[in-house]
Amino acid sequence: MRVFLWALGLVALGACTTAVPDSGAGVGFDDYDSYLEDKRARDAQLSGGAIPAPDAVSSETLNSSGRTVSDNDAEAIAAEAEAALAEADANSGDDVVHASPSNPAPATVNTSTGISGENDFEAVGEQRSIESDAALIAQNRARYKVIEPEALPTRSGSQGPNIVAYALASKHPVGTQIYNRVGFNKEAKFRRNCAKYASPDRAQEDFLSRGGPKKDRLGLDPDGDGYACGWNPGPFQRAVGG
């Protein structure tokens, strides 16, 4: 009895199992070729025309303007194409240069080797020789002018103080008091008189010419370091020291 009930349950369970569809038939249609055929028929029905054969080729051709090309147009296009090919073959594929009164005609290479005479060793050998080249070299050498070095000219007139030599002889940094300075309103005098010079170099030259660095009649060096109007010997010292 148990065996009979168990077999009956298996039969009932198999009847409830969902059938697996055939994946080879495609999704939504029988096969792909039938789908394409139905699609062409539907498109033709929508457009109102018959279905052309897959290998059908239209006998009509269109030109650039969109109209049908006649036999005369086809002959004209063919003639233009042949003329363009012939022109390209005659000019090695380069654009043709048309001569005009303002544009001289291009030079034509007529050598058997196909290169210009300047690049043809045989042509150059016929026109020039070792002797002619030697004469040309000698002629070019004769044109050379060798200029011998000369001593630098000296300055005319009186020689002023040399701030470069003074900078190289100085060993103390800017702001180090070496000389005593006395007087009132040294700062105001310093600003007023230093403003008269175009640069600190000019102020240092005038400072040395007036008895500096020991004397400072114009108050150009109020801190007594021997450098007028903020002049700094450092650049000269670094240039010599490398």
* In-domain check, residue 131: no
Taking only the tens place, the pLDDT of each residue in 150-199 is 887 776 655 778 999 999 999 999 999 999 998 888 999 999 999 999 99
* In-domain check, residue 70: no
* In-domain check, residue 193: yes
* In-domain check, residue 182: yes
Cα 17 to chain centroid, rounded: 75
* In-domain check, residue 88: no
Mean pLDDT of 84-107: 66
Domain that holds residue 236: 163-241
Written in H, E and C, the secondary structure of 19-88 is: CCCCHHHCCCCCCHHHHHHHHHHHHHHHHCCCCCCCCCCCCCCECCCCCECCHHHHHHHHHHHHHHHHHH
Q: pTM for this one?
A: 0.37
* In-domain check, residue 43: no
Neighbouring C-beta atoms of residue 133, cutoff 10 Å:
10
Taking only the tens place, the pLDDT of each residue in 212-232 is 999 999 999 999 999 999 999
The token pair that represents 110 in the structure block: 């007529």
Structural domains in the chain (count): 1
Stretch (H or E) spanning 239: helix 234-241
Does 148 or 156 have the greater pLDDT score?
148
